[in-house]
Amino acid sequence: MMETLSVLYIWLKSAHIIFVVFWMAGLFMLPRFFVYHQESAVGSEEAAKWVDRESKLIKIILNPSIIIVWVVGLFLAWNIGAMAESWFHAKLLFVLGLSGYHGWIVGYAKKLARGERKLTGKQLRLLNEVPGIAAAIIVILVVAKPF
């Protein structure tokens, strides 16, 4: 029984890492898509193509990945007893923040689809740094467990 759980744990941990990579890739790509989308004329054929690309990225990569990351991640944390660890609480805080960012950029995609362009290209390029900074902090918390 323990051997089966050990093998299952390794596969679930692998799945968690793989889907974190997919999620992060989507979080990097979508704001970059926004930059190009905003450079196209409102209502143009090019803008419609960006809406389609953004929608596919959200539906095929981002949303499934965040669900799998959360479900598998919580199972893994429960399995190793991480829920009682300070490093895990900090990690969870950053993952919640990244999840909020995910929700915000999905919402911004809907605004762009309606022709609303509230942010500049420069602001979107700066927002593109959020997932990278969060990922660096999360990796340090998980690997180094500084507290």
**Blockwise average pLDDT, block size 10, the chain, 147 residues:** 80 97 98 95 96 98 98 95 97 98 98 95 93 97 96
- What stretches of the chain show up as alpha helix (H) in DSSP? 2-39, 45-56, 63-80, 86-113, 121-127, 130-144
Q: What is the pTM of this model?
A: 0.93
pLDDT value of position 4: 76
| 3-class state of residue 59 by DSSP | helix
HSE (side-chain half, CA atoms, 13 Å) at 102 = 26
d(CA 63, CA 94): 18
Q: Is 89 among the annotated ligand-binding positions?
A: no
Q: Which of 111, 128, 20, 106 is nearest to 59 (CA)?
A: 106
Q: Is 16 among the annotated ligand-binding positions?
A: yes
d(CA 128, CA 145): 26
